[in-house]
């Protein structure tokens, strides 16, 4: 896909999420669509959040894309260190800031950015959460490589994704050009591996795949 077309698609997706952020996102997408397509996905995503807090042990946590922080405020409540939430849609960033203010969470900071070009130094985070986001973002490998780059050596990524694995019946050459929501959970795991992470656990719930992946510790 040409760079300009990619940018237009990204902006359209961001515009859509900004539009639905304040009223429609949680009731329609989080509370209806996620359970419909993902079964126990929401409770499993919360489990990933608790595991992230334990694993981070006070060190910085990244949540990308953060959405309205529906899953993130719990993480920030339990975590003793900094939680950074970032999203391409400005409306989502505003909702995250509102949610943090409403709950008095001074350790939850939100900023706007593109997962393909995260504004953080390499190795900045002990743990990264990427909850139910990759399927709507065009460009799987550029997303996973930024997740891997910004994780510290020995850090952990908790990823969940909903997908209709149409790619399983298509030839390899076609698969790579499909949007992530049509690719299988295995392909998402393979992309994390290409980015240099080691897969520690894969769980499934209906059309959702939940992955725990570790960045090897440097010697």
Ligand X SMILES: C[S@@+](CC[C@H](N)C(=O)[O-])C[C@H]1O[C@@H](n2cnc3c(N)ncnc32)[C@H](O)[C@@H]1O
Residues in contact with ligand X by CB under 6 A are 10, 13-14, 17, 29-30, 65-67, 70-71, 87-89, 92, 114-116, 131-133, 136-137
Between 132 and 167, name the residue whose CB sits nearer to ligand X: 132
Q: Measured between alpha carbons, how far is residue 113 from residues 55, 120, 195 in Å? A: 25, 10, 20
Residue closest to ligand X, measured at CB: 67
Between 44 and 197, name the residue whose CB sits nearer to ligand X: 44
> Alpha helix (H) ranges present in the chain?
3-20, 34-38, 41-56, 72-78, 90-102, 140-150, 172-175, 185-194
Q: Rounded CA gap, 58 and 76, in Å?
A: 11
Q: Rounded CA gap, 211 and 105, in Å?
A: 27
Residues in the chain: 219
Between 164 and 216, name the residue whose CB sits nearer to ligand X: 164
Between 83 and 153, name the residue whose CB sits nearer to ligand X: 83
C-beta of residue 200 within 8 angstroms of C-beta of residue 55? no
Between 170 and 181, name the residue whose CB sits nearer to ligand X: 181
Q: What DSSP assignment string belongs to 98-150?
A: HHHHHTT-TTEEEEE--GGG-SS-TT-EEEEEEES-GGGSS-HHHHHHHHHHH
Provide the β-strand partners of residue 127: 61, 156
């Amino acid at each position: 896909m040409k760079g300009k077309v990619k940018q237009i698609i990204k902006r359209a997706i961001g515009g859509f999420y900004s539009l639905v952020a304040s009223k429609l996102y949680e009731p329609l997408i989080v509370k209806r669509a996620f359970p419909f397509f993902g079964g126990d996905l929401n409770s499993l995503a919360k489990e990933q959040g608790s595991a992230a807090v334990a694993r981070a042990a006070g060190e910085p946590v990244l949540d990308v894309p953060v959405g309205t922080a529906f899953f993130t405020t719990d993480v920030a409540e339990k975590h003793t260190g900094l939680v950074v939430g970032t999203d391409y849609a400005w409306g989502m960033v505003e909702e995250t800031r509102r949610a943090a203010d409403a709950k008095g969470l001074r350790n939850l900071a939100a900023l706007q950015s593109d997962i393909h070009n995260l504004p953080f130094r390499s190795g900045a985070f002990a743990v990264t959460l990427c909850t139910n986001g990759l399927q709507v973002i065009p460009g799987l490998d550029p997303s996973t490589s930024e997740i891997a780059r910004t994780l510290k050596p020995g850090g952990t990524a908790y990823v969940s994704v909903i997908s209709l694995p149409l790619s399983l019946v298509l030839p390899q050459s076609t698969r790579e050009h499909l949007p992530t929501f049509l690719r299988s959970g295995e392909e998402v795991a393979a992309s994390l591996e290409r980015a240099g992470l080691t897969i520690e656990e894969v769980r499934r719930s209906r059309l959702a795949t939940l992955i725990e992946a570790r960045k090897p510790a440097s010697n």
